Amino acid sequence: MGVSTTTHGSGVAEIVVEAPPVNALTVAGWFELADALLAAGRDPEVGAVVLRAEGRGFNAGVDIKEMQSTGGHDALVGANRGCFAAFAAVYDCEVPVVAAVHGFCLGGGIGLAGNADIVVASDDAYFGLPEVDRGALGAATHLARLVPQHLMRAMVYTCRNATADELHRHGSVLDVVPRDELRAKAMEVAENIAAKNRYVIRRAKESLNGIDPVDVKRSYRFEQGFTFELNLVGAGDRARDDFMAKGAR
């Protein structure tokens, strides 16, 4: 369990996250995922990456249990740096990344999906940023790549979720399929890309990143500063303690 990579003969690297019960990653897990994504992109035999997960959902963000059981701010700093590294690795991966989202895609999951080149989802998938209720901020940068600006703000302020069908209507999810067809659909999309000239596809990814209107890494880092502020004033710890007291995760 953890993060595994399988490179198929088609030129697709399949990266799978499996961290029960809800794929909420520890500090080490975020860095492990970042390393896997960057390594896949550097492999000359790889033309595209599929990023998916096993279990109940795609990703539930950071491991709050680890954060609350670690003294001082080491886990908070580590989680912030680990999320930054993993999100940036999706964006900086030298080949296109296809995110295959099922079930919940929350918090850090939004950072992964929002930085992916293409998102396909199962019909049970939903997307959300419950950060305000957790005493944190961040990944609105990436949510804004998935939904229009005013919906993004409403989702941040109210912590409401959006379904895969909603995102499909906004054009940010390419296809919505039954859950048992999700992996096949993601592989189909990635194999289509991997079949093309590898040099051209890598330059296409580089060129599209170069014309992005928002510097996603700088923007996300700005957001993270407010998470540190919330913890300095005690709001972050109180919100996480309340969350843990309710028996979540």
> What is the residue-level pLDDT of the chain in tens, covering all 249 positions?
799 999 999 999 999 999 999 999 999 999 999 999 999 999 999 999 999 999 999 999 998 788 777 767 788 889 999 999 999 999 999 999 999 999 999 999 999 999 999 999 999 999 999 999 988 899 999 999 999 999 999 999 999 999 999 999 999 999 999 999 999 999 999 999 999 999 999 999 999 999 999 999 999 999 999 988 888 888 877 877 777 777 654
Dihedral (C-alpha) 217, 91, 133, 103: value to the nearest 10 degrees?
180
Which pair of structure tokens corresponds to residue 84? 């930054």
Tokens at 126, concatenated: 């939903």
Q: Put residue 135 in one of left, alpha, beta given phi > 0 → left and psi -120 to 50 → alpha.
A: left
Question: For residue 52, which of 109, 128, 106 has the smallest C-alpha distance?
Answer: 109
Q: Which two tokens stand for residue 104?
A: 């919940």
Q: Which two tokens stand for residue 167?
A: 């995102």
Which two tokens mark 214?
Answer: 């928002």
> What's the pLDDT score for residue 213?
96
Q: Is 100 helix (H, G, I), strand (E, B) or coil?
A: strand
Across the beta sheet with 126-128, the strand order is 104-106, 126-128, 162-163
- DSSP 3-state assignment of 58? coil
Q: Global pTM?
A: 0.94
Is the four-CA dihedral 20, 22, 28, 33 of positive or negative sign?
A: positive
pLDDT number for residue 218: 97
> Phi/psi at 174 (nearest 5 deg)?
-70, -50
Structure token digits, residue 222: 């700005």
Q: What is the dihedral of CA 107, 108, 114, 117, to 10 degrees?
A: -150
The radius of gyration computed from the CA coordinates of the chain, to the nearest angstrom, equals: 17
Half-sphere exposure (Cβ direction) of 192: Cα atoms closer than 13 Å: 7
17 close to 101: Cβ distance less than 8 angstroms: no
What 3-state DSSP class applies to 29?
A: helix
Q: Output the CA torsion sign for 140, 74, 31, 213.
A: positive
Could you tell me which residues are beta bridge partners of residue 59? 105
